[in-house]
């Protein structure tokens, strides 16, 4: 059984060799993000059935991912330099904070904390892959730190397509109702989905239903396995 991490929890650094392990972990996880982005761009056949407006959103999302990776690379280099130049508590804390954030972003471990649970119900004309993608983007913009849809962990490389019976998430077919679990500030997340012209209004006006529950405790049990690195390796 995988160990579940709390959003607010810290992973203790207990040994003198922890700096070396931190450097390796940070490098490995950064390589994973780059690999994921490259893999997503290497599957054009998956986009043949996507509409033009969806392609625009996907392109924007990929551009944002590229920008995020570049920023992440700069941050990781700064952390590595800090670790190499000393073993202060501040450096260890900074490294630990980055590890916690990377675990959340990569979706490699179950997590728990405050958040919301959204239940979307509707036929394809009211809830489709575009609706789900838009929902995920609105949640991320509102500060979501972890998202799960019908038991599938959603990360930056996740893609959505329409099927005859519902939607496909990373080629795994799911059907309405769509249960979306999100970790983050409950009030902020709920407000983001309820703004005029937002997801909730679009779905309800097209015949679907949206139920949003704010929760003080929420578990996201799904996770994404680490992939074998192809384009990056840890360095001493």
What pLDDT digit, counting tens, does each position of 83-101 carry? 666 656 766 777 677 777 7
Q: Compute the distance between CA of residue 197 and CA of residue 206 in angstroms, rounded to an integer.
A: 12
Domains of the chain by residue range: 5-106, 111-220
Name the average pLDDT for the chain: 78
Question: What pLDDT band is residue 13 in, cutting at 50, 70 and 90?
Answer: very low
What pLDDT digit, counting tens, does each position of 97-150 carry? 777 777 777 788 888 999 999 999 998 888 999 999 999 999 999 999 999 999
Q: Which helix (H) or strand (E) holds 118?
A: strand 111-121
The least confident of 36-45, 106-115, 122-131, 202-211 is 36-45
Strands 209-220 and 111-121, by their bridges, are antiparallel
3-state secondary structure 198-220: CHHHHHHHCCCEEEEEEEEEEEE
pTM of the full structure: 0.61
Q: What is the dihedral of CA 78, 84, 86, 92, to 10 degrees?
A: 60
- 111-220 has CATH 3.30.2130.10 classification: no
């Amino acid at each position: 059984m995988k160990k579940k991490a709390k959003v607010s929890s810290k992973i203790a650094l207990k040994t003198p060799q922890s700096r070396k392990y931190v450097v390796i972990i940070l490098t490995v996880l950064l390589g994973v993000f780059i690999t994921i982005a490259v893999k997503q761009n290497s599957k054009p056949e998956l986009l043949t059935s996507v509409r033009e407006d969806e392609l625009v959103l996907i392109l924007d999302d990929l551009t944002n991912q590229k920008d995020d990776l570049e920023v992440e690379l700069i941050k990781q280099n700064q952390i590595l330099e800090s670790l190499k130049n000393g073993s202060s508590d501040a450096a260890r804390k900074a490294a630990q904070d980055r590890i916690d954030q990377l675990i959340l972003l990569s979706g490699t471990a179950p997590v728990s904390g405050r958040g919301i649970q959204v239940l979307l119900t509707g036929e394809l004309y009211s809830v489709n892959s575009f609706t789900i993608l838009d929902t995920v983007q609105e949640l991320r913009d509102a500060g979501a730190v972890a998202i799960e849809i019908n038991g599938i962990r959603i990360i930056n490389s996740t893609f959505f397509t329409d099927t005859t019976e519902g939607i496909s998430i990373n080629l795994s077919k799911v059907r309405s109702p769509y249960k979306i679990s999100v970790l983050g500030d409950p009030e902020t997340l709920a407000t983001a989905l309820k703004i005029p012209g937002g997801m909730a209004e679009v779905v309800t006006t097209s015949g679907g239903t949206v139920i949003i529950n704010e929760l003080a405790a929420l578990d996201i049990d799904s996770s994404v396995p680490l992939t074998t690195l192809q384009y990056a390796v840890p360095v001493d």
